[in-house]
């Protein structure tokens, strides 16, 4: 018996224990940042896996649906045209000289996007079915110095599906915080010299429960800018009607007249404030957006 036990112990010791370690693509990236920002910038691309089989936003082909029977009082709307029918969006697009329309998550290179929380992990049917729309406006008063106050505002439109709930029937509050942080960062970065800001503080006040299968509108603006610091405030509302866009619904919503943002019945679910700071090593950080 002792001979068998000794043999088993020798065999166990001979195994390569490193084979039992779980590999994480984030590990080499974290080590690179520990070595300093310059080292991180030089070899960051080598630490990013090249695979691209990550969760994806619905493609334009998937967004299109087959025609369905229409009644005299209803019209069918595909997900591809849903956002375009919101009066707020129509107004923003008419003022294109003031507000620039962007889809920043679609500009993230695929090898990076698959590891991006909003652009990758949260993308797909039942979650964030399409990449959030954002309209950005920036302004600067004539005669201002480089360090004087600048201003920016962002309006973002997105849909939250049923697979992002906490308690059944209610969107997870942590998701709302993530989306505030995501859009706030876009707003703050627009007024910082390097175009990059990192979250220093974020406070969210939840007003009413957020419901799934709704179209949401998040409005943000900078309220103060000092050097490398930018303070941002915003509020999130959702349209008052259910817009089921699950994988089985083929992206169809009946009755475009329901797509009225800030009309009677629109619900504000949360307000937030945040402070963003431009890192001193911003120039050495990897740019995640293609343009």
Q: Which pLDDT score, from 0 to 100, does residue 284 have?
A: 82
Q: Which pLDDT score, from 0 to 100, does residue 78 have?
A: 62
184 shares a domain with 81: yes
Q: Dihedrals φ, ψ of 246, to 5°?
A: -75, 175
32 shares a domain with 132: no
Q: How far, in Å, CA of 176 to CA of 116, rounded? A: 16
206 shares a domain with 168: yes
Q: How far, in Å, CA of 217 to CA of 32, rounded? A: 37
Sign of CA dihedral 49, 51, 52, 55: negative
| Token duo for residue 55 | 């969760």
Of the pLDDT bands very low, low, confident and very high (cuts 50, 70, 90), residue 265 is: low
Q: Which pLDDT score, from 0 to 100, does residue 216 have?
A: 94
Whether residue 290 is contained in a domain is answered as: no
Tell me how many domains the chain contains: 2
Across the range 37-56, mean pLDDT stands at: 46
pTM for the full model?
0.69
Higher-confidence position of 90 and 65: 90
Domain of 190, CATH number, reads 3.10.129.10
Range of the domain at 256: 56-284
Q: How far, in Å, CA of 274 to CA of 187, rounded? A: 11
Q: Which pLDDT score, from 0 to 100, does residue 238 have?
A: 93
Nearest to 260 by CA among 85, 70, 22, 11: 85
Is the pLDDT assigned to residue 249 strictly greater than 60? no
Is the pLDDT assigned to residue 264 strictly greater than 70? no
């Amino acid at each position: 018996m002792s001979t068998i036990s000794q043999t088993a112990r020798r065999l166990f010791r001979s195994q390569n224990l490193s084979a039992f370690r779980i590999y994480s693509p984030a590990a080499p990236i974290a080590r690179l940042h520990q070595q300093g920002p310059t080292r991180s910038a030089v070899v960051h691309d080598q630490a990013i896996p090249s695979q691209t089989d990550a969760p994806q936003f619905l493609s334009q082909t998937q967004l299109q649906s087959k025609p369905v029977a229409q009644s005299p009082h209803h019209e069918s709307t595909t997900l591809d045209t849903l956002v375009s029918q919101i009066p707020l969006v129509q107004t923003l697009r008419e003022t294109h000289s003031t507000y620039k329309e962007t889809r920043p998550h679609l500009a993230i290179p695929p090898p990076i996007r698959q590891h991006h929380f909003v652009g990758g992990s949260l993308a797909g049917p039942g979650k964030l079915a399409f990449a959030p729309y954002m309209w950005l406006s920036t302004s600067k008063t004539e005669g201002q110095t480089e360090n004087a106050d600048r201003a920016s505002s962002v309006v973002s439109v997105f849909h939250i599906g049923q697979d992002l709930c906490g308690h059944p029937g209610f969107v997870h509050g942590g998701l709302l915080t993530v989306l505030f942080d995501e859009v706030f960062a876009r707003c703050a970065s627009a007024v910082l010299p390097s175009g990059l800001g990192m979250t220093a503080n974020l406070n969210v006040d939840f007003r009413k429960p957020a419901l799934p299968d709704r179209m949401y509108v998040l409005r943000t603006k900078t309220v103060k800018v000092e050097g490398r610091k930018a303070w941002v405030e915003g509020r999130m509302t959702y349209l008052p009607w259910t817009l089921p866009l699950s994988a089985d619904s083929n992206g169809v919503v009946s009755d475009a007249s329901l797509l009225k943002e800030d009309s009677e019945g629109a619900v504000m679910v949360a307000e937030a404030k945040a402070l963003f700071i431009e890192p001193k090593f911003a120039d050495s950080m990897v740019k995640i957006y293609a343009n």
